[in-house]
Amino acid sequence: MKIFLFCVTATALAMGSATLQAADKSAGATLYADACAQCHGPSGKGMASFPSLSGRDADYITSRLETYRAGEKVGSNSFLMIPNATDLSDDDIANLAAYIVDNAE
């Protein structure tokens, strides 16, 4: 029983520390400029058929990028997003979400 409680506590602490880790908005800015701005625009307002990211929260951005990374289709632009998200790490996604939320107008 003590081992079970230890494992549960250790897992909870590990999960909590991951959520407390601050995202690196500077790294997110670099990723955005390199991979996102060409379609979503420099301020995230979207361009042509590419949607605006303005007003989206971090959970939405994170969820969509994780979905694309998993190769799942979400909409008509999935065929463009999936290859762009495939190599993103969890940290990359967190950094992008933090940057987009703070900078998309």
User: Which phi and psi angles does 87 have, rounded to 5°?
Assistant: -95, 5
Which carries the bigger pLDDT value, residue 62 or residue 13?
62
Q: Is the pLDDT of residue 46 over 90?
A: yes
Each residue of 48-102: pLDDT tens digit?
Answer: 999 999 999 999 999 999 999 999 999 999 999 999 999 999 999 999 999 999 9
CA 18 – CA 14 distance, rounded (Å): 6
What's the confidence (pLDDT) of residue 22? 81
Token code pair at residue 13: 């602490």
> Domain 23-103 in CATH: superfamily?
Cytochrome c-like domain (1.10.760.10)
Alpha carbon distance, N-terminus to C-terminus of the chain:
52
Domain ranges of the chain: 23-103
